[in-house]
Chains A and B, each alone.
Chain A
Amino acid sequence: MSTVMIRRPTAPPVAEVAAPTFRLDRPLTDLRAGIRTDAAWRSWRLLASDWEQRLRADGVASVTTVETHGQVGDTGAADRSHIGALAEAVDFAIVGLGTCGSCTSFAIADAVAIEQRERPVVAVVTDEFATHGRNMAKHLGHGNLSVLVLPYPLEARPDAELLEISAAYYPQALALLGVSRSAEVGA
């Protein structure tokens, strides 16, 4: 069979880079917490609100929240600016929610922006978008980014059910951030 030489049309895979991740390794007491919500997701706003109360009950000094509203334009620019300010103002952050394609991309990108400022961070995605979230983190050079995977779908569940999920996954979020219950660990 005769043959012909062609050039491969695919780009070589980007070299895998796993930027440093950061853990608290101490209790929550007196820390400044940050939570990123997304105006698109009622479910996540409810969970985030519940987690904010739990964080306060667990002794954090403050909880700063940033709600994102856009991806481009003035709104998107303001969101990215607020995420940058959040990263500077807190000791750790919880970033959600990835439960669609582009919102997962932006949630991961915002989590990466916080991790780049050497803050412990956990990105929250739902199960359907977990692989996509991890892929995005890898492609952004943060392959070891902590990702908490919630059940899918969250939308259309009643509040009571969402609050059960909230209670069940809050400890996992803290574990991924490296929160210790013992005061000695963080000393």
Chain B
Amino acid sequence: MTLTGAQVEVPADPRALYELSLIEQWGDGAPVLPPTDAAIEALLAYTPDPADHVVGVLPPQYGVATVELVAANAAMAGVQPEAFPLVLAALEAILVPEWNAFGLTTTTSSVFPMLIVNGPCRDDLGIDYRAGCMGGAAGRGSMTIGRAVSLCLRNIGGQRAGETSRTVFGQPARFGMCFGEWEERSPWPSLAQRRGFPTDLDVVTVHGGKGTFPLADIHNDDPRGLLFLLAKSMAYPLANMYLGNADNGEVVLAVNPMWAERFGAAFPEMTDLQAYLHEHAWQPLDLWPAANRDILVAKGRVGRRNRVFLTAHPNQIVPVVCGGLGSLHAVALPSFGESAMQGVAARTLTSGAR
């Protein structure tokens, strides 16, 4: 295996490497592991793609992402070799034009790739899907895969807040966000299945998420009543989805397994659940001040009885089952709007994809 990336001699001392990474702007401010040839080659051994294969050209600075360069960043993040195909899959998903990396890497918004993993690999790779799955569970896969993608956007795509990225606030997920779906506790087909993938594949779905929007209730035991409140909460008046087209973008609704069980009894079919959420995810036009009202009217966003729906279609509300068994909470991952969720199955040496 021949690696071709530029070599740099660095101190073997981890602290000195960390300091150097800050000076060279190789990292995200946290310590990094050295991308040695041994570390890179270990990662490359788990993908059928050759080192010089071009995954794509990453905006905003259009750096060429070869598999080797992606592996160097994955090595810095501490990605387990077996998990490397998921990093590549995530980048492939990001590079689908309809995900709109061109816009999302440069926007003033906080939006960033949020990775949702389905498939048999979740436990073996440490993809968090139970308690603390969006932060705190500390699974190796969740922490390193998301970070590797983030480092690729930074080091290959040249995305840097305040420079090439115009993000005003950023968000914690910019360090990397990757969680799994608790498929075994879901009453519905998994997200990947709903998007057409067989259950035996490991699939990364990338959502352009603006943040984690927490929702809670301890009073309502009725599934329809609770879903009504979730729908209304997702349709908050300053959501990005109200800025542009109702047709573009998805809002992910992360539902804990206890609520999922309750919702599944009322809505055995996912499409019925989505239809119910969509039916109530709206606000009355009068809620907005005149200036906003005028724009919403001009954009044709006002529906029957002066209702302004969050999305044009029910399938733009995307429930995913994950989280702890403590119930009481859900999390919405609001959309940037001008971005369509993409999923890609990981190609491993044993998947026969090549």
Residues of A within 8 A of B (CB): 1-14, 39-40, 69-76, 100-102, 104-106, 109, 129, 132, 135-136, 139
Q: Is the CB of B245 within 8 A of A73?
A: yes
User: In the complex, what residues of A have CB within 8 A of residue B73's CB?
Assistant: 9
User: Given contacts A3-B11, A109-B102, A139-B61, is CB(A9)–CB(B76) below 8 Å?
Assistant: yes
Q: Is the CB of B156 within 8 A of A69?
A: no
Q: Is the CB of B60 within 8 A of A135?
A: yes
In the bound complex, CA of A10 to CA of B37 (Å): 15
Residues of B within 8 A of A (CB): 3, 5-13, 16, 26, 34-37, 40, 58-65, 68-69, 72-73, 76, 97-100, 102-104, 106-109, 151, 155-158, 164-167, 243-245, 247-248, 298-299, 338-340
User: In the complex, what residues of B have CB within 8 A of residue A3's CB?
Assistant: 9-12
User: Given contacts A8-B72, A13-B61, A129-B166, is CB(A70)–CB(B9) below 8 Å?
Assistant: no
A-B contact pairs, 20 of them (CB 8 A): A3-B9, A5-B7, A6-B7, A6-B35, A8-B7, A9-B151, A10-B155, A11-B63, A11-B69, A40-B244, A72-B339, A74-B247, A101-B109, A105-B60, A105-B107, A106-B102, A109-B102, A132-B164, A136-B60, A139-B61
In the bound complex, CA of A74 to CA of B98 (Å): 10
CB distance from A142 to the nearest CB of B (A): 13
* Closest Cβ neighbor of B157 among chain A residues: A11
In the bound complex, CA of A69 to CA of B295 (Å): 12
User: In the complex, what residues of B have CB within 8 A of residue A129's CB?
Assistant: 166
CB distance from A136 to the nearest CB of B (A): 7
CB distance from B207 to the nearest CB of A (A): 14
CB distance from B208 to the nearest CB of A (A): 10
User: In the complex, what residues of A have CB within 8 A of residue B16's CB?
Assistant: 1
Chain A binding surface SS class: mixed
Q: Is the CB of A10 within 8 A of B156?
A: yes
User: In the complex, what residues of B have CB within 8 A of residue A139's CB?
Assistant: 59-62
User: In the complex, what residues of B have CB within 8 A of residue A102's CB?
Assistant: 100, 102-104, 106-109, 338
In the bound complex, CA of A145 to CA of B102 (Å): 19
User: In the complex, what residues of A have CB within 8 A of residue B13's CB?
Assistant: 1-2
Q: Is the CB of B61 within 8 A of A7?
A: no
* Closest Cβ neighbor of B339 among chain A residues: A72
CB distance from A90 to the nearest CB of B (A): 24
* Closest Cβ neighbor of B167 among chain A residues: A101
User: In the complex, what residues of B have CB within 8 A of residue A1's CB?
Assistant: 11-13, 16
* Closest Cβ neighbor of A13 among chain B residues: B61
Q: Which of A8, A10, A13 has the most CB of B within 10 A?
A: A10
User: In the complex, what residues of B have CB within 8 A of residue A101's CB?
Assistant: 103, 106-109, 165-167
CB distance from A186 to the nearest CB of B (A): 36
* Closest Cβ neighbor of B71 among chain A residues: A7
* Closest Cβ neighbor of B21 among chain A residues: A9
CB distance from A79 to the nearest CB of B (A): 11
User: In the complex, what residues of A have CB within 8 A of residue B166's CB?
Assistant: 100-101, 104, 129, 132
In the bound complex, CA of A59 to CA of B36 (Å): 65
Q: Is the CB of B244 within 8 A of A70?
A: yes
User: In the complex, what residues of A have CB within 8 A of residue B12's CB?
Assistant: 1-4
Q: Is the CB of B248 within 8 A of A73?
A: yes
Q: Is the CB of A72 within 8 A of B8?
A: no
Q: Is the CB of B34 within 8 A of A9?
A: no
User: In the complex, what residues of A have CB within 8 A of residue B35's CB?
Assistant: 6-7, 9
User: In the complex, what residues of B have CB within 8 A of residue A75's CB?
Assistant: 245, 247-248
* Closest Cβ neighbor of A3 among chain B residues: B9
CB distance from B290 to the nearest CB of A (A): 13
Checking B36, B104, B248 against A5 with a beta-carbon cut-off of 8 angstroms, the contacting residue is: B36
* Closest Cβ neighbor of B27 among chain A residues: A9
In the bound complex, CA of A75 to CA of B246 (Å): 10
Q: Is the CB of B103 within 8 A of A9?
A: no
Checking B36, B99, B156 against A11 with a beta-carbon cut-off of 8 angstroms, the contacting residue is: B156
